[in-house]
Structure 1
Amino acid sequence: MDGLTFSDHSPTPGLLEYKKCIQPVSIRLEGGKLHIHNHYDFIDLSHLFATWHVVQEWGNTNPREFELPQIAPGAEAIVDLPDWSGELHGDTWLSIHLYLKNETAWAPRSHEIAWSQIPLLENHTFELPSVVPGDINGPSIYEQPGRLTLTWPSCNEIFTFNLVDGNFTWANQKGSILTRGPELGLYRALTQNDVGFGGDGKEWLKFRLAETKMHVRGFTWFVNENGTMTVKATVRVAPPVLEWACNAQLIYTLGQGNLSIRAKGSFSGTVPRHIPRISLTMSLPKDYNRATWYGRGPGESYRDKKQAARFGRWEASIDDLQTNYEWPQENGNRSDVLWVQVKANNAVLEARMDVPLNFSLRKYSTADLDKSTHPHELTELHETVLNLDFAQHGLGSGSCGHLAFQEDRLSPGLFDFTVLFKTK
């Protein structure tokens, strides 16, 4: 469906993106100074007032006003950075906002006209903490035909591996955490851009991306000297019939209240030009129904659609994490995320990656999003699906234009990433 609003005239994410891209004032940091450019053709910026605050992982400073200089139409002014004496630690952003001074015929006073977030400190390679061991002697290990169970009696931690299909479950004294463990995946629901004349949808149908499944080739395991446990799964993600595949290792390191999963692999055979994603997908109990994260938000964002998404600490329910497009499709991703916490009534599961991650929290299955043509046809799952994406293919504009730009395309190749999970 075309257009920048939904049928009830509420804005789509595309309209918010468009508003950000054409905002009449832009700000950049150059040579330790702020460069403020007035893109208006006929007026200066005297009708606006400006505020700034600092965004960090543990919270934001209070907004403060600062005086805008006189900037003629089409001109640029250079001003000093605001005086801020705080410590730079982790990703830190200077957030600047410009608002209307007075009410107009089309907007109230304090309506936001433009904003910019300027990185003061970025760290896009993260050193993940080590997995915390349980008992120094390691877990109790129970081997059964097709099943491996690991327990730490001191903390009621139970990990179970299905050695046939690779399913992994995790529970503790608070109840079930993962009902179906992280599965390496390559596919997401199609978008209208994918199925348009310029999209990848036809090729993905030809290569049967929607039918790819993870198959287990082998398991090994051993107890480490510090009492943690390592389990290695050799897996193959492939469609039926066709000879191409993603061949990978999933290396689990398990401890008390936490685990890490390293996924590393490559592709073989006659592969598609592009793939939708490289991700870990898992199922949680249905009461894990809200999330807090530090990254881009509050709305959805993607690799090539994130100009309107602001860095910050955000919180949303699973309902608010869906974008209810009138033609069901892929939606609800949050990008450039440092960490995400998925919350139940009395439990929290936190995930971090060694690079900024993408996450989505789902009420519907990918297959249901693909087959439904109206929202009322979707059926809610009896579980919550969490996707943690290492890499994604851009959305592009294939419904009426072209593929994603070259730099936003995801081609099959080598990959290696680690996710750390811990409970609270």
Structure 2
Amino acid sequence: MDRPTDYNFSGNGIVYGGERDESPKMPSVKYNYQNISVTIGEDRIRVTNKNLFVNTDQFDCAVILEKEGHFVKKVPIDTDVAPLSKAEYPMPFALPEEPGEYAVTVSFTLKEDTKWAKAGHEVAFGQEIFSKKGEECKKKNPPVEVIYGKLNLGVRGENFDVLFSGLNGGLVSYRYAGKEMIEAIPMPNFWRAPTDNDCGNLMPQRYGQWKLASMYLTHKTDGTFDDHPPVIKQEEDSISITYTYHMPTTPRADCELTYQVFGDGTIKTKLAYVPVKELGDMPEFGVMFQINADYDQVEWYGLGPEETYADRTQGAKLGIYRNEVKDNLAKYLVPQECGNKTGVRYAKVTDKKGRGMLFAGDNMSFSALPYTPHEMENAKHAYELPPVHHTVIRVAKAQMGVAGDNSWGARTHEEFLLPVNEKLEFEFSFRGI
């Protein structure tokens, strides 16, 4: 009998069914199809016109300067690049000498309305990032008060207190301005909800041990019910506590999670893992937090505005973006990994009054969704997702690429996998705001 449907493969494409809203894949496709490309240097701009018949003078062109996501200036320039040719133009301004991170974007937009888009619609862009280094101002942190208990370790500081548990193996409480910020122990995470491409190339079967490692890692000593005691180190203006977690893999592997608490409420966090060759690479290397669902507003300084992945960053721009947690849940027919942001320098997750948590790091991967990877993986339709109880935050060094050469066997390219031949370390910080 002939099968009458290809199921969710029938929803493959760059727009959703129904209203044909754009899916998060659209910016990457648009960027790779654009007929004008731009190479940006500190003092020169090279424009390559790949159009067969259209000169670049048919479009408005502007050079935009931003500092750490904030607008500085926009300067229009005239370009006259014939079809299938190149030209160079001087940068219309000098980069500031003031230390900071600067984004220079060259944008081509429609001069007039057309049948397919309005005037001002961007048809092509290029962006380059420049860093001006300066001396770091080392601030003096207020002191921390440490309370040693039989099973717990408490830390108090400026407007915050935290509680670490030896019995439960992690950070069990972080209160800022009198309000509890976390609702579950932050734990190392190595898993993502498999995508359609993942299922097509049997990723869940090949990487399944990392799902178990994420769900069942423990601080208990192997073969006993004894706790593996954390290592505590007091310093002049901070205190650090390191937990060792054992993972139920074959062969067994361990990872370490270190919290360093400062007096202003900042907790510098470090996840470390020495790769076990037989286990290979993992889908993700990071830490998962669960906070109250009232924290539903997201702001990030990184690539955007749509989701990005290691092998899908083209079409994104560095900037400051805002949305709601629910907006990061892509409307795929089968719930799966979505909503990731790459190149993140900082991210805020807050309630509507602006209270919440700030995460900061160097080119992190970051996501804030209403569900854990396991909850999404267990649902075959959106209506099967459970009621929303938490905002689930994943802060990661990296996540493997989403692949897509085809969806029936092609794997993620090697350059977009996490390395397995070197120690993995990931540092970031978080604090209440």
- What is the TM-score when the length of structure 1 is the normalising length? 0.89
**Counterpart contact for 1:25–1:114, Cα < 8 Å:** yes
Q: Distance in 1 between matches of 2:132 and 2:190?
A: 29
Question: Do structure 1's residue 7 and structure 2's residue 17 form an aligned pair?
Answer: yes
**Counterpart contact for 1:263–1:417, Cα < 8 Å:** yes
In the superposition, relative to structure 1, how do residues 359 and 245 fare at CA in structure 2: closer, same or farther (>3 Å)? Answer: farther
Q: Distance in 1 between matches of 2:69 and 2:27?
A: 26
**Counterpart contact for 1:170–1:179, Cα < 8 Å:** no
**Counterpart contact for 1:128–1:420, Cα < 8 Å:** no
More deviation, 35-44/114-123? 114-123
- The answer for the alignment partner of 1:285 in structure 2 is 292
- The answer for the alignment partner of 1:382 in structure 2 is 389
From 163, 166, 187, the equivalent of 1:163 is 166
Deviations, residues 218-257 of structure 1 (Å, cap 9, x unaligned) = 312243233x222121222x23xx4234422222111231
Query: Which amino acid is the alignment partner of residue 25 of structure 2?
Result: G
More deviation, 72-81/255-264? 255-264
Q: Distance in 1 between matches of 2:372 and 2:414?
A: 29
- The answer for the alignment partner of 2:77 in structure 1 is 66
Query: Which amino acid is the alignment partner of residue 176 of structure 1?
Result: E
Question: Do structure 1's residue 121 and structure 2's residue 134 form an aligned pair?
Answer: no
From 211, 214, 217, the equivalent of 1:214 is 217
Determine helix, strand or coil for the equivalent of 2:100: coil
- The answer for the alignment partner of 1:267 in structure 2 is 275
- The answer for the alignment partner of 2:414 in structure 1 is 406
The unaligned stretches of length 5 or more in structure 2 are 1-8, 220-227
In the superposition, relative to structure 1, how do residues 285 and 400 fare at CA in structure 2: closer, same or farther (>3 Å)? Answer: same
- The answer for the alignment partner of 1:47 in structure 2 is 58
Percent of paired sites with the same residue: 20
Q: Give 1:78 shift.
A: 0.6
Query: Which amino acid is the alignment partner of residue 348 of structure 1?
Result: G
- The answer for the alignment partner of 1:230 in structure 2 is 240
**Counterpart contact for 1:300–1:323, Cα < 8 Å:** no
Deviations, residues 386-408 of structure 1 (Å, cap 9, x unaligned) = 10011211111151462222211
Q: Distance in 1 between matches of 2:38 and 2:120?
A: 19
Q: Give 1:182 shift.
A: 2.4
- The answer for the alignment partner of 1:25 in structure 2 is 36
Q: Distance in 1 between matches of 2:356 and 2:332?
A: 29
Q: Give 1:58 shift.
A: 5.3
**Counterpart contact for 1:394–1:404, Cα < 8 Å:** yes
**Counterpart contact for 2:270–2:428, Cα < 8 Å:** yes
Q: Distance in 2 between matches of 1:392 and 1:131?
A: 35
More deviation, 359-368/27-36? 27-36
- The answer for the alignment partner of 1:352 in structure 2 is 360
What pairs up with 1:148-159 in 2 under 5 angstroms?
148-152=152-156, 155=158, 157-159=160-162
Q: Distance in 2 between matches of 1:268 and 1:48?
A: 54
Q: Give 1:270 shift.
A: 2.5
Question: Do structure 1's residue 172 and structure 2's residue 176 form an aligned pair?
Answer: yes
Q: Give 1:417 shift.
A: 2.3
- The answer for the alignment partner of 2:5 in structure 1 is none
**Counterpart contact for 1:204–1:210, Cα < 8 Å:** no
Determine helix, strand or coil for the equivalent of 1:229: strand
Query: Which amino acid is the alignment partner of residue 275 of structure 2?
Result: F
What pairs up with 1:33-112 in 2 under 5 angstroms?
33-57=44-68, 59-68=70-79, 70-84=80-94, 86-112=96-122
In the superposition, relative to structure 1, how do residues 386 and 128 fare at CA in structure 2: closer, same or farther (>3 Å)? Answer: farther
Determine helix, strand or coil for the equivalent of 1:95: strand
Determine helix, strand or coil for the equivalent of 1:180: coil
Q: Give 1:127 shift.
A: 8.0
Deviations, residues 167-223 of structure 1 (Å, cap 9, x unaligned) = 312113330112223211111111011001x35233123x36355432113312243
What pairs up with 1:288-327 in 2 under 5 angstroms?
288-327=295-334
Q: Give 1:91 shift.
A: 2.2
In the superposition, relative to structure 1, how do residues 29 and 155 fare at CA in structure 2: closer, same or farther (>3 Å)? Answer: closer
Query: Which amino acid is the alignment partner of residue 35 of structure 1?
Result: R
From 324, 338, 344, the equivalent of 1:331 is 338
- The answer for the alignment partner of 1:342 in structure 2 is 349
